[in-house]
Chains A and B, each alone.
Chain A
Amino acid sequence: MQVFTSVLVLTIFFLAFIITDIRQYKERKVSSMKTLAHVIGLNSVSALEFRDNEAAKDMLLSLKDNSPEVVHAEITDKDGKPFASYTRPGIPNVNTPGVVSGENVQLTGEQLFVSDNIINSNNEQLGKVSLEVGLSELEETKKAKYRLAAVLLLIALGFSFVIAVVVQAYISKRLLYLINNMNEAGKTGNYNIRIADEGKDEIGTLMKVFNKLMQQVTESQQRKDEFIGIASHELKTPLTSIKGYLDLLNVVEEKQPNKQFVQKSLDSVQKLESLIKDLLDVSKIQSGQLQLNITQFDINALIDETIASMQMISASHRISRENDPGPLLVSADRQRIEQVLINILSNAIKYSPGENKVVVSTKNTGAELVIKVRDYGIGIAAEELTDIFERFYRTKDSSVHISGFGLGLYICRDIMQRHKGKIWVEREEKGSSFYFALPINKQ
């Protein structure tokens, strides 16, 4: 952009300069030819008075060497009859309209005609002298000037281009470096980066401000992480006591309703534990700290075990597995995959309060294992199908009161994404089908 403006300005400037120059040249030429004509006129006075053609001719001949641009010169007497003439050698003797009436100066595209009256000391007109000047010199000069201008313009263009590129690169490079770092920080959640920039200009200032900002963010993150560490510790410690003593009470107490009171308390403790754990997970996800502990294990066995342990705590529903394939080894974080499975299964039960079955099935597509959990409950509204995976999202469906923060599916989605898998849901006529797919490495 800057290059373009510079070139445009330069071109206009050059053109203006050349045009003015040429105009001045023409004016000078006209002026000098007028003077020449006048001088010739003065020198022809005596020749005309004494009717000496030869003298006049000789004088005109001097034009050949002195003023080679004069193509044709003619002296006419007071009656208008030719007295002496001169034609530059090499020029065909074309009968040009030597003198045009009235005009002393006539400048056409190709030629310049200058004429002057020859007047003697008594102010009598003795005749006229007219010169025809070839403008080829002018043409040559014009061409030369344009050529020169073009060359200079090209050089200027080259220079300004080089300078612009260098300056641009210098600025762009630094800005791109900044942008890359910003993208990196945003993507990885690692804001502990600093940019080194020696520049003393505005961009240098921008870099400094960016570094300060990064520092503030990392400090803020550290404080948040410390807080989470402290909070989870502080919350979990009394919870440990509550749970532990309730467990003991559960063993010691045999009478009802005492035992039932204990059991209900334990159920709530379980919920609280689960909520705190989810909160902690979400916080780790947010600060990019959730890491996978990858091992190889038999996923079908994990599915069977999880169904079995979920079944133990769900009296209301029967969880069954539709197909029963053999062992399948995968590379994944076993605990996290178990977490996803438990979450989806418990959702299936939670959201089908009047029903009594949940069906699990798997499909091996070769590239991945797709696990499907089908429930026959209240289902999900079409507009909520993607919303349910958002943080803290809880369904707007008020037909059933659901406890929890709305974090489970958000965490599941993050876990699946980290495994390069997928998770999604489809509506059924009654209820929903949740799918999650885990890539199987071909080894």
Chain B
Amino acid sequence: MHFNFLTMDKILVVDDDVDILTLVQMTLSMNGFDVEAVSHWQNIDHSIVHFNPDLILLDVSLGGADGREICKKIKSTKETEHIPVILFSANIEMEKSVHACNAQAFISKPYELPKLLQTIRYNIDESKSA
């Protein structure tokens, strides 16, 4: 598969589980996205600045941090508030928090690949047309 790096959408994936992180990175890469993977939540800010993602897939239970709080911060900072955030969690109750922390969507673990891709696609398109 050949992708034009200039037109590929960029996704920042954050998850403290290395296996899942690698899996998602590989899966999204194979589906035409430029992916940066972060396992330590402290590196998120650096990544956002330097990688400039079009969407962030953010795990909620980040071992030492709550993804929802991080989402709130991203969404309340001027420079980053435009980036769509999808919450990612094994706990389906987290879906209820989407609105409260200003995230755009929720994907549960384990995920259905078509649904994951569709949700990412949709939210990137939405934010670009806004």
Q: Which residues from chain A sit less than 8 Å from chain B, CB to CB?
A: 229, 232-233, 236-241, 243-245, 247-248, 251, 269, 273
Contacts and interface: CB of A to CB of B under 8 A. Distances in A.
B26 A248 contact: yes
A248 B110 contact: no
Nearest to A270: B110
Contact of A239 (B24, B61, B110): B110
B20 A233 contact: no
Interface of B: 17, 19-20, 23-24, 26-27, 30, 61, 90-91, 109-111, 113
Contact of A247 (B19, B20, B27, B109): B27
10 contacts: A229-B91, A232-B91, A236-B90, A236-B110, A237-B17, A237-B20, A237-B109, A244-B23, A251-B30, A273-B110
Contacts of A251: 30
Contacts of B17: 237, 241
Nearest to B109: A240
Contacts of A244: 20, 23-24, 27, 110-111, 113
Given A239-B109, A244-B113, A248-B26, 9 more contacts: A232-B91, A233-B90, A236-B109, A237-B17, A240-B110, A244-B24, A247-B27, A248-B27, A273-B110
Contacts of B110: 236, 239-240, 243-244, 269, 273
B23 A245 contact: yes
Contacts of A236: 90, 109-110
A247 B112 CA distance: 9
Interface of A is mostly: helix
A247 B91 contact: no
Contacts of A233: 61, 90-91
A96 to B, nearest CB: 106
Q: Which 8 A-B pairs have the closest CB atoms?
A: A236-B90, A244-B23, A240-B109, A240-B110, A241-B19, A243-B110, A233-B90, A239-B110
A244 B110 CA distance: 8
B27 A240 contact: no
Nearest to A236: B90
A334 to B, nearest CB: 14
Contacts of B27: 244, 247-248
B90 A247 contact: no
A253 to B, nearest CB: 13
B64 to A, nearest CB: 15
Nearest to A284: B93
B91 A240 contact: no
A237 B113 contact: no
Contacts of A240: 20, 23, 90, 109-111
Nearest to B116: A244
A269 B109 CA distance: 13
Contacts of A269: 110
Contacts of A241: 17, 19-20, 23
A251 B29 CA distance: 13
Contacts of B91: 229, 232-233
A248 B90 contact: no
B90 A237 contact: yes
B61 A248 contact: no
B54 to A, nearest CB: 22
A238 B19 CA distance: 8
A232 B113 contact: no
A238 B23 CA distance: 11
Contacts of A232: 90-91
Contacts of B23: 240-241, 244-245, 248
A237 B61 CA distance: 11
B28 to A, nearest CB: 11
A269 B110 CA distance: 10
Nearest to A238: B19
Contacts of B19: 238, 241
B26 to A, nearest CB: 6
Nearest to A233: B90
A243 B17 CA distance: 15
Nearest to A228: B91
The CB with the most chain B CB atoms within 10 A, among A236, A241, A247, is that of: A241
A257 B26 CA distance: 24
B108 to A, nearest CB: 8
Nearest to B111: A240
A232 B90 CA distance: 7
Contacts of A239: 109-110
A233 B24 CA distance: 17
A247 B23 CA distance: 10
A251 B23 CA distance: 14
Contacts of A229: 91
A248 B30 contact: yes
A277 to B, nearest CB: 8
A333 to B, nearest CB: 13
A114 B20 CA distance: 122
A159 B80 CA distance: 80
Contacts of B26: 248
